[in-house]
Amino acid sequence: MRAVRDGCRSERLYRQLLRSYPRAFREQYGEAMVELFRDLSEAAGAGGSARLVRFWLRTFSSVVINGLLERGGDGARRLVEHVQFVVSLGRAGRTLLRSPGVNALVVLTLALGIGANVALFSVLRGVLLQPLPFPEAERLVRIRETNAAVGGEQHGPSPLNFADWDGAAADFESMAAWYLTSGTYRGDFGAEEIRSAQVTADFFRVLGVRPAIGRDFVREEVVRYGPVMLSDRVWERLFGRDPAVIGRRIVSSNLSYEIVGVMPPDFAFPDASVETWIAWDLRNVYRDRPESRTWRFLDAIGRLAPGVPVAGAESSLRALTTALAEAHPAENRGWEVSLASLHEEMVGAVRSTLWMAFAAVLCLLLIACANVANLLLARVPARGRDLAIRSALGASRRRLSHELVAENVVLSGVAGLLGLAIGVAMLDALVAIDAGRIPRLGEVRVDGGVLVFTLVVTAFTGMIFGLVPTLHALDGAVVAALRGTRGSASAAQQRVREVFVVSQIAVALVLLTAASLLVTTLSHLTRQDPGIDPRNVATFRVSLDPVDGTSEEIVGYYDGLLTKLRELPGVERAGAAQTLPLNPVGNDFTRPFRHTGSSVASADAPLAQMRIITDGYIEAVGMRVIAGRTLPATVRADEPLVALVNETMARRLWPAGIAVGETFDLDFRDGWQPYRVLGVVADVKHYGPRQDARAEAYVAHAQVPYLAMSFAVRTTRAARAMHEAMRAAVVGHLPMQPPHNFVTLAALTRDSVSEERFLSLLLTVFSAIALLLCATGVYGVMSYSVSQRRREIGVRIALGADPRQVVARVLGRAAALAGTGIVLGIVIVVSGGGLIDSLLYGITPRDPVITLLVASMMLIVASLAAWLPARRAASIAPVVALGSD
């Protein structure tokens, strides 16, 4: 009785399920279906409860799915097909596991390609495409002064000019200027040299960033210097993250500053080396020094008013500078203002490098896809016969294509996941080696955008490598297998495979050419005469404090320290300058110069880079004296001023004559003063090997003392090993006066080409992989072709063909493929070469020697790859070949 009631209940449930079918269908077949259900459930019930549960599960899903399918709603049908497709993915996975070797190779090849793309795309997006990490960053601009008369170079604004703009420029919401410096901070923690930025009061407001704790600067409180804002790192290192630090004072350069706030940990402007920001009132500091209007040493940014375009703000600021030029003609004549997007200013220099690297990884992915497509195509004949039999047995073409597509989806899906992992690891590696000092690299994250990119690349990859083999498996191979022959379809396939190989070779040639050009560029750059000898030179900086020391005190301190350094074992030479070649830390500045006797005004005079040096400096960095002599140790403050000039400056002043013994005027300390030239030194590539040398005036520290100096110490042992001894010597000379920024001159030289080194390393690795992939591609296509033509070759040999002739024919075919690819590649190089031009040095993108070398290399690789299949062809036994088909 109970069984009957249960039966009724389940029948009612079943009738409910049947409602998923259309009414017309139910009316015609509903009763028959209930009868079937009754019979089936009776049979299932007899098999125990486990079987009953399975029966119900099956019934439920089958009735609902078929009901929806019968309803024929397109949406429903598609939904069901999606579900079936997902189910078929599992089956595809199992199919693929049956040939693990090939599929692992496929997945790995693709994953490498996808991974490299993910890493480079993350960098490209984080650095170039994403806005700076400030609110409404598109309104931020860099402000500079330019003067066509002094070479059109960009200069920072001078303090008084900036102070005049600030507040008067209508199109700006706010403006700020800063100057990078460093100071010795003293307190309970001892003495530490800390890199700081002196910033005008609105600095953080322009950027739109608030302190994490404490408050921002207030304009009214800033009188000359201070208060100070701390970075998160300094707060941690010196104060152990004590919140009570707000309101306390710290001492630097005999000035005491109130700490008003701590910036958030990720705030790094103008760069990550800056650890404190000291508020600075330009007008107060420079009010009594009208000549400072020509000291264009600041960096400045502005936030445009909402809706104002950069060009509009520039023209309104120009109106202001014209007025300033009229008010201060001696200082401002000829000077214009120029604005540029802050983002572009920060990353513009690496734009081409990043795009280049991204293009390279895209090429690599294309080559990988072509290789995988060829691997899969090789499977088509075997696969095709299987498919043909199943299709003959009634499996629909739709179903078979579903299965093949499912296999590709699984392959590319696994490759995509693995690629994402590889990409994240590569990104970490890039960040770790600081990939050519790319700005904003620390901001790069793998986020939703990168995931979307990975998805798109994976889908795209799956399409490229999967589509052609799938179509072939379904069409040509089915027909061919049914006929039991391997005729026309195989020929078509062979053509497709050859097209892949040709495109592979073309892309690899482009990659290899780019790599060769960059390697050549790097070697040209490193073989440039830097004007110095960077081997075994240790450098560090001392920022002497207090600031109000007398000239005698400053000179005395440095003379004494140099004497102590020269006494250290292993030290050959020691000297100091206020700025070192290739080293961004230092006070690099220019002063106007003219012939003695000329009356040209400061604003119109050409500029010389100032090098204030102690005796021993020229020898310590390994500069060459071309004429005259170096500065002697005996120069005294009360003697007439002396100087060395570099070749460029000597040519500027005395194009045909002898410089040594002449005098020139320099507008430095107390206005125009005559300097007598003691010697001429070879040009130094102060700003890196790509930059042309500028006019440099070397003046004696003993006569024009400077407070903060960078030391260069030439040693007889490894320079790095000397750092500790030097630190001890500095602190021993004057306790609480720490040295900082230890770095060897060799490391600075290396870093000066780090971008080129990074890119050429990247491209060399990529083009090596590309060559390898090409070789396997050629090998694959040639062995396939040989195995297809066994019979023909066998007949040829049976008819007395020389095996050497057979080898030659196979090699000839490979060479023809390679040749086509090479020509195609050269066409790409010639038409697109301009894109890489800006990265090169001393070579053009269409360099015939490089092109010839790369082309012959491709040809050799292709021939080597075809050699084995060719040997195999020559050894085909005529009888075996004839009997095989």
Partner 1 sequence: MAGASRSARDRIEAHLPLKPVDFHILLVLAEGDLHGYGMVKAIESTSEGRVRLEPGNLYRFIRRLVDAGLVGAAGVRAAGGGDGERRRYYRITAQGRRVLAAEASRMRSLAAAARALVGRPRERG
Binding of partner 1 by 35 (CB under 8 A)? yes
Beta-carbon neighbour count of residue 312 at 10 Å? Answer: 14
- CA-to-CA distance for 687 and 181, rounded, in angstroms? 19
How far apart, in Å, are the Cα atoms of 174 and each of 147, 200, 306?
Answer: 25, 11, 11
Binding of partner 1 by 8 (CB under 8 A)? no
- CA-to-CA distance for 201 and 283, rounded, in angstroms? 12
DSSP code of residue 50: H
- CA-to-CA distance for 442 and 268, rounded, in angstroms? 10
DSSP code of residue 529: -
**By C-beta, is 14 or 179 nearer to partner 1?**
14
**By C-beta, is 351 or 385 nearer to partner 1?**
385
Q: For residues 169, 174, 175 and 180, what is the CA-based torsion angle, rounded to 10 degrees?
A: 170
**By C-beta, is 538 or 873 nearer to partner 1?**
873
- Cβ within 8 Å of residue 269, ≥6 positions away: 207, 209
- CA-to-CA distance for 232 and 264, rounded, in angstroms? 6
Asked if 322 and 151 touch (Cβ cutoff 8 Å), the reply is no
User: Which residue type is seen at 517?
Assistant: L
Asked if 866 and 779 touch (Cβ cutoff 8 Å), the reply is yes
Binding of partner 1 by 423 (CB under 8 A)? no
Binding of partner 1 by 57 (CB under 8 A)? no
Q: How far is the CB of 834 from partner 1 (least distance, A)?
A: 51
**By C-beta, is 196 or 391 nearer to partner 1?**
391
- R_g of the chain computed on alpha carbons: 38
Binding of partner 1 by 104 (CB under 8 A)? no
DSSP code of residue 591: E
- Strand runs labelled E in 570-694: 571-577, 590-595, 607-613, 625-628, 642-646, 663-667, 672-681
- CA-to-CA distance for 840 and 515, rounded, in angstroms? 11
Q: How far is the CB of 840 from partner 1 (least distance, A)?
A: 51
Give the contact letters, 427-466, x = binds to partner 1 (CB under 8 A), - = no. Answer: ----------------------------------------
- Cβ within 8 Å of residue 357, ≥6 positions away: 120, 123, 759, 762, 763
Q: How far is the CB of 424 from partner 1 (least distance, A)?
A: 43
- Cβ within 8 Å of residue 375, ≥6 positions away: 102, 105, 106, 780
DSSP code of residue 804: H
Q: Of residues 836-875, which lie at the interface with partner 1 (CB under 8 A)? A: none
Q: How far is the CB of 474 from partner 1 (least distance, A)?
A: 16
How far apart, in Å, are the Cα atoms of 158 and each of 283, 290, 310, 739, 761?
Answer: 11, 11, 21, 30, 41
CA 56 centroid distance within chain = 58
DSSP code of residue 195: E
Among 7, 29, 216, 340, contact with partner 1 (rule: CB under 8 A)? 29
**By C-beta, is 528 or 787 nearer to partner 1?**
787
**By C-beta, is 66 or 776 nearer to partner 1?**
66
Q: Which stretch binds partner 1 (CB under 8 A): 58-66, 107-115, 448-456, 696-704?
A: 58-66
Binding of partner 1 by 62 (CB under 8 A)? yes
Q: How far is the CB of 130 from partner 1 (least distance, A)?
A: 52
Among 11, 70, 588, 619, contact with partner 1 (rule: CB under 8 A)? 70
Binding of partner 1 by 484 (CB under 8 A)? yes
Binding of partner 1 by 223 (CB under 8 A)? no
User: Which residue type is seen at 741?
Assistant: N
Binding of partner 1 by 747 (CB under 8 A)? no
Backbone phi and psi for residue 542, each to the nearest 5 degrees, phi listed first: -125, 125
Q: How far is the CB of 49 from partner 1 (least distance, A)?
A: 19
Asked if 377 and 493 touch (Cβ cutoff 8 Å), the reply is yes
Asked if 598 and 767 touch (Cβ cutoff 8 Å), the reply is no
Q: How far is the CB of 494 from partner 1 (least distance, A)?
A: 17
**By C-beta, is 792 or 802 nearer to partner 1?**
792
**By C-beta, is 32 or 432 nearer to partner 1?**
32
Q: How far is the CB of 57 from partner 1 (least distance, A)?
A: 11
Asked if 705 and 693 touch (Cβ cutoff 8 Å), the reply is no
DSSP percent split of the chain into helix, strand, coil, nearest 5: 60, 15, 25
- Cβ within 8 Å of residue 250, ≥6 positions away: 185, 187, 228, 256, 257, 259
Binding of partner 1 by 482 (CB under 8 A)? yes
Q: Which stretch binds partner 1 (CB under 8 A): 33-41, 364-372, 510-518, 658-666?
A: 33-41
Site for partner 1 (CB under 8 A): how many residues?
37
Binding of partner 1 by 884 (CB under 8 A)? yes
**By C-beta, is 12 or 595 nearer to partner 1?**
12
Q: Of residues 763-802, which lie at the interface with partner 1 (CB under 8 A)? A: 787
Q: How far is the CB of 31 from partner 1 (least distance, A)?
A: 7
Q: How far is the CB of 479 from partner 1 (least distance, A)?
A: 13
- CA-to-CA distance for 786 and 221, rounded, in angstroms? 86
Say which residue the tokens 């003392």 belong to. 705
Among 13, 33, 251, 808, contact with partner 1 (rule: CB under 8 A)? 33
Q: For residues 340, 342, 346 and 352, what is the CA-based torsion angle, rounded to 10 degrees?
A: -60
Q: Of residues 358-417, which lie at the interface with partner 1 (CB under 8 A)? A: 385, 389, 392-394, 396
Q: Which stretch binds partner 1 (CB under 8 A): 64-72, 519-527, 716-724, 818-826?
A: 64-72
Binding of partner 1 by 153 (CB under 8 A)? no
Asked if 882 and 795 touch (Cβ cutoff 8 Å), the reply is yes
Q: How far is the CB of 884 from partner 1 (least distance, A)?
A: 5
The helix (H) or strand (E) run that includes residue 487 is none
**By C-beta, is 40 or 218 nearer to partner 1?**
40
**By C-beta, is 40 or 104 nearer to partner 1?**
40
Tokens of 416: 């995509």
**By C-beta, is 381 or 622 nearer to partner 1?**
381
Asked if 756 and 521 touch (Cβ cutoff 8 Å), the reply is yes
Binding of partner 1 by 536 (CB under 8 A)? no
Q: Which stretch binds partner 1 (CB under 8 A): 22-30, 236-244, 555-563, 761-769?
A: 22-30
Binding of partner 1 by 28 (CB under 8 A)? yes
Among 7, 11, 52, 66, contact with partner 1 (rule: CB under 8 A)? 66
Binding of partner 1 by 32 (CB under 8 A)? yes
Q: CA neighbours within 13 Å on the CB side: how many for 867? A: 8
Q: How far is the CB of 392 from partner 1 (least distance, A)?
A: 5
Among 11, 13, 15, 25, contact with partner 1 (rule: CB under 8 A)? 25
**By C-beta, is 59 or 767 nearer to partner 1?**
59
**By C-beta, is 388 or 810 nearer to partner 1?**
388
**By C-beta, is 791 or 846 nearer to partner 1?**
791
Asked if 171 and 304 touch (Cβ cutoff 8 Å), the reply is yes
Q: Which residues bind partner 1 (CB under 8 A)?
A: 14, 25, 28-29, 31-33, 35-40, 43, 58-59, 61-67, 69-70, 385, 389, 392-394, 396, 482, 484, 787, 883-885
